[in-house]
Amino acid sequence: MKRILSYNVNGIRSAVSKGLLEWLPEVNPDVICIQETKAQPGQMHEADFKALGYHCYAHSAEKKGYSGVAVFCKDTPDHVEYGMNHSKYDVEGRVIRADFGDFSVISVYFPSGTTGELRQAVKMDFLTDFHSYLDELRKTRKNLVISGDYNICRLWIDIHNPAQQQNTSGFLPEEREWFARFVEDGYVDSFRKINTEPHQYSWWSYRAGARANNKGWRIDYNMVTSNLEDKIFDAGILPAVVHSDHCPVWVDIDF
């Protein structure tokens, strides 16, 4: 059994200052997929994570203090792939993959489109290009766990007040259509396999009372290739854990 945890920390140094390292042993993940490190290698408290038993691998954005993904893992990977061989996104540090035997774990940070049309266009391009990257990868790596901040609410129950959010980036019809095609192509939403209840969120605005009133969005996922569906043992969201405007999401898989 492996526990894989995904967490957009909104700055790893900030999250550590809020108790991330002290909290981690409580959930004891085997693999931690981090998004929005907002740090360069050597700035991510690597020695502290190593003291907890984790090997540290990071793919940072060229722009300092921006984006960035990482994989911290107890087992040494057979191979680590930095980026998706696409310079448009790799300069922003959006994808890192670690291979362990016959399965791979990907930490991914999808672009946000909330700042305007230009970034929304980049986001839509990323959806197409990342899907193509995975299609090619599956020819040689068939067992994938794709963990990260997808910046999309997949289902009507994954966002508060959905009827009024349909013109908002992250819940646009074309984004949800992409997600539906993605699932049809053989990817399983591990959390929704276990939990079909509404009001299960992983991100809340910093606006007054959003988190306290659970007016959130579920945009963080541990998606797995459909051939692993029967190996999903459990999955969950940890909304009470507060080191970020996101909270951790996890899946237990019996490989």
Of 76, 34, 38, 35, nearest in space to 55 by CA = 76
- Give burial (CB, 10 Å; 0-12/13-18/19+) of 25: exposed
149 is catalytic: yes
Q: What is the DSSP string of 169-213?
A: TTS-HHHHHHHHHHHHTTEEEHHHHH---S---SEE-SSTTTTTT
Of 149, 158, 189, 220, the catalytic one is 149
List residues with catalytic annotation: 149
